């Protein structure tokens, strides 16, 4: 889908179809990969015991703090654009159209559900497994994009998606093999897989719809983020007030009960992650976003071997290798894949 967004010149004369330079798009994609890796590690590190299922703080309080920080960041960036326009710069596009404002409520609600499920999933999965299984998103997103946005893919690209599925199966087999004999560990993994599928569905539906809004509307990305995060804050407030969100006993003692420097690290990383995700979806697409998440697998694995005593088995390494090959197959030009050596 082509965007009506005006061309954006950033450091290069080569631009994508949405107007952003290739260098800019590649830069934010690489940044997104590192942020995805930092997210899962930070959430695991925020627990008093990385092997424990429980958090000392209420995950919903962390999610709402994140949404409020996202809103503050987006508002600050949008104010900076307005200030620049007063100094002779280009006026950012924006309009408080009630119909548009309501549309951003839909992905905000789904994102909020996904953010809360993330904490549940990490109760049953360690950081590397969470990061790798998160690649389920690409299969779901590819299907939903094809159905909703009519985004066609080549046979080679669908082959890349199939390879990614194979890689996920190998990773799952390695984790089942590495767990102790007995049903408890296997059941824990299966619960984690179930919640990862839920996260994939939330991410896919919300992501595709947000991509549609970001590219269709000629509004500033930061203004659109303000609308999205405003709804996020509202839904989180309603969830906290009703007591339907969060399962931590800390929520009964106070909003910030159990918060520590590690908790705030999670909040900050997730807040910046939201800003970068919206730009990747506007200037690239959801497929690029989820592949950036899969690129964070290697970073997560390397850091987790030092932080959480995570051991990488042969099958785990093999599965990760298949995921990397899937990325190459999906993004490489067909001419390159058919090159004779």
Question: To which residue do tokens 């042969």 refer?
Answer: 314
Task: Decide if 111 is inside a domain.
Answer: yes
Residue 310 belongs to a domain:
yes
Q: How many residues comprise the chain?
A: 341
Indicate whether 326 belongs to any domain: yes
pLDDT tens, position by position, 43-55: 888 877 666 667 7
Q: Which structural domain, as residue segments, surrounds residue 242?
A: 22-82+98-332
Report if residue 338 sits inside a domain: no
Q: Are 248 and 256 in contact (CB under 8 A)?
A: no
User: Which tens digits make up the pLDDT trace of 287-326?
Assistant: 888 778 777 877 777 777 777 777 777 887 888 888 888 8
The 10 Å Cβ neighbour count of residue 77 is: 17
- The three-state secondary structure class of 15 is strand
Q: Give the angle subtended at the CA of 178 by the CAs of 177 and 182, to the nearest 5°.
A: 75
The total number of structural domains that make up the chain: 1
Q: Does any domain span residue 12?
A: no
For residue 226, the model assigns a pLDDT of 94
Give the pLDDT confidence score for residue 53 in this predicted structure: 63
pTM greater than 0.85 (yes/no): no
pLDDT of the residue at 271:
95
What is the per-residue pLDDT for 227?
93
The segments of the chain whose pLDDT lies below 70 read 1-20, 49-53, 127-128, 131-132, 135, 172-187, 242-253
- Is position 299 within any domain? yes
The number of helix segments (H) and strand segments (E) in the chain equals: 13, 0
Annotate 179-188 with b (16+ C-beta within 10 A) or e (fewer): eeeeeeeeeb
Alpha helix (H) ranges present in the chain? 22-45, 59-86, 98-103, 105-124, 127-133, 136-148, 155-178, 183-216, 221-242, 261-283, 286-307, 314-331, 334-337
pLDDT > 70 in the chain, percent: 83
* List of residues 6+ apart from 339 with CB closer than 8 A: none
- Assigned domain for 142 exists: yes
Domain membership flag for residue 139: yes
CB neighbours of residue 223 within 10 Å: 21
């Amino acid at each position: 889908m082509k965007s009506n967004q005006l061309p954006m010149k950033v450091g290069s004369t080569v631009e994508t179809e949405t107007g952003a330079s290739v260098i800019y798009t590649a830069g934010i994609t690489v940044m997104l990969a590192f942020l995805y890796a930092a997210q899962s590690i930070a959430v695991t590190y925020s627990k008093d015991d990385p092997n424990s299922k429980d958090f000392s703080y209420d995950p919903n309080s962390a999610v709402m703090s994140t949404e409020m920080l996202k809103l503050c960041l987006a508002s600050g960036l949008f104010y900076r654009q307005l200030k620049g326009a007063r100094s002779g710069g280009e006026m950012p596009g924006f309009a408080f159209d009630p119909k548009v404002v309501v549309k951003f409520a839909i992905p905000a609600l789904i994102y909020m559900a996904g953010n809360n499920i993330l904490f549940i999933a990490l109760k049953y999965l360690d950081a590397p497994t969470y990061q790798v299984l998160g690649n389920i998103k690409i299969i779901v997103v590819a299907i939903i994009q094809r159905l909703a946005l009519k985004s066609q893919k080549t046979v080679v690209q669908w082959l890349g998606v199939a390879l990614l599925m194979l890689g996920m199966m190998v990773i799952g087999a390695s984790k089942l093999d590495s767990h102790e004999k007995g049903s408890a560990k296997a059941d824990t993994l299966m619960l984690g897989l179930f919640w990862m599928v839920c996260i994939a569905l939330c991410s896919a539906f919300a992501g595709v719809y947000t991509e549609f809004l970001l590219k269709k509307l000629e509004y500033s990305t930061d203004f659109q983020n303000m609308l999205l995060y405003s709804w996020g804050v509202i839904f989180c407030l309603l969830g906290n007030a009703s007591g339907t969100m969060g399962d931590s006993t800390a929520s009964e003692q106070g909003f910030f009960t159990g918060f520590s420097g590690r908790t705030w690290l999670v909040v900050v990383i997730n807040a910046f992650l939201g800003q970068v995700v919206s730009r990747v979806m506007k200037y690239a697409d959801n497929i690029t976003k989820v592949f950036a998440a899969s690129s964070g697998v290697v970073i997560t694995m390397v850091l987790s071997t030092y932080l959480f005593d995570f051991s990488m088995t042969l099958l785990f390494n093999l599965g990760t290798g298949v995921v990397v090959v899937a990325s190459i197959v999906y993004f490489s030009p067909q001419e390159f894949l058919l090159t004779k050596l």
